[in-house]
Structure 1
Amino acid sequence: MPYQVTPIELPRVLVARKRVRTAVRNLPATIEDGFRALARHVAEQGATPAGPPQVAYPGDFVPEGALEVELLLPVDRPVPPGGGVETAELPAGVAARTYHRGPYDAIGAAYDALFEWIAAHGRRQTGPPREIYLTGPDATDDPATYLTEMVVPLDRGDR
C-alpha cells in the first residue's frame, strides 16, 4: 500500500493517559484491556471522551523485548488521577502524518514511510509516534477496513 506523508499542524489535546509496559507479543491484549480501564475511569469521573483513542510509543521498539505504551483518550475536562490514569496535555506542533488502512499487524510499512519522509526532508522527531484509531474493532469486525491516522511530532525545520 503506498503511503502519502504530509506535514500537518497538530492541535493541543487534553487527554486521560495510562502508561503500561508490555511484551510486543502481548500488545493487542494490553491495549484492549488498557483502553477498557481508561474508559471506565474517565466515565466514573464524569468526564466525556472528546476524540478517538490514541496510542503513543515513547520508548525504543525492541521486537522481542518490553515496550512502553501510553494509552491516550482525549477528554472534555481534566480527570482526577487513579488506577494509573492521569490527565496530560499533548502539545500543539508540527508533525508528519499518514494513514494506514487495514489490520494493525501490517502497520509497519506506514511507519517506514513516515520515517523515510522525515529523513528525506531533513526533519527531526521531537516526540513519540502516535496512532489515532479512527475506525477499529469497536466499529467493524473487518480488520481490512480499520483506519489509523499516524503522526510523528517534528521540529519546525527553521534551523
Structure 2
Amino acid sequence: GATPVATPLALTVYHDDFLLSRNADLEVLLEVTGPFEDTEAVRCRQVPTTLVASSRQDGGEPQLHTVFDALGRWIARNGYRFAGPMFSVHRPEPGAVPRAGRDIVEVCAPVSLLQL
C-alpha cells in the first residue's frame, strides 16, 4: 500500500451543507506516494485540476463559516458560479507538527464563469 508523502496535503470535500454537525456527507483525502488497490473503506483517486476561488485561514476550523460566506459573496460579485462541491485543504504550519486547530486551512470553491 501507499504511504502519505512527507508533508501531505489533507483535503475535506463537503458534499452537503458544511454547517451540518451530524451525519455530514464528507470525503477526506490524503496525498500519498503512489497508487494503491482500493478496499471497501478506502479508494485511490486522482483529483483533477480545477479552477477555484479560495481563501486562507490560519489556525484551524472554528471560523470556517465566515470564510465560506465571504467566498460565496466574492463569487457572486465577480461573475462566477459554483461548479462543484466546496473543499478545504489543510496544511500544517511550516516547521510544525500537524495538530488540530493549528493548521492553515485553504477553503476552495470550484468555479466557472457565468455565461452572458
Coarse TM-score class (shorter-chain normalised): 0.7 to 0.9
Give the unaligned 5+ runs of structure 1. Answer: 1-44
For the residues of structure 2 that align with 1:53 and 1:152, how far apart are their CA atoms? 16
Q: Structure 1 residues 112, 75: CA separation in 2 closer, same or farther (over 3 Å shift)?
A: same
The counterpart of 1:72, out of the listed 2, 22, 29, is: 29
* 1:31-74 alpha-carbon deviations (Å, 9 max, x no partner): xxxxxxxxxxxxxx1x1324311111012345365210101012
TM-score by length of 1: 0.60
For the residues of structure 2 that align with 1:64 and 1:52, how far apart are their CA atoms? 23
Is structure 2 residue 97 aligned with structure 1 residue 139? yes
Q: Structure 1 residues 69, 48: CA separation in 2 closer, same or farther (over 3 Å shift)?
A: same
Give the unaligned 5+ runs of structure 2. Answer: none
For the residues of structure 1 that align with 2:32 and 2:98, how far apart are their CA atoms? 23
Contact persistence 2:79–2:114 (CA under 8 A): no
* 1:109-130 alpha-carbon deviations (Å, 9 max, x no partner): 1111111111111211111111
The percent identity for this pair of structures is 24
For the residues of structure 2 that align with 1:49 and 1:75, how far apart are their CA atoms? 4
- Deviation >6 Å, runs of 4+: none
Match of 1:88, SS? coil
The counterpart of 1:151, out of the listed 100, 103, 108, is: 108
Q: What one-letter code is carried by the residue in structure 1 that aligns with 2:80?
A: R
For the residues of structure 1 that align with 2:100 and 2:13, how far apart are their CA atoms? 24
Residues paired across the two proteins, number: 111
Q: Structure 1 residues 121, 71: CA separation in 2 closer, same or farther (over 3 Å shift)?
A: same
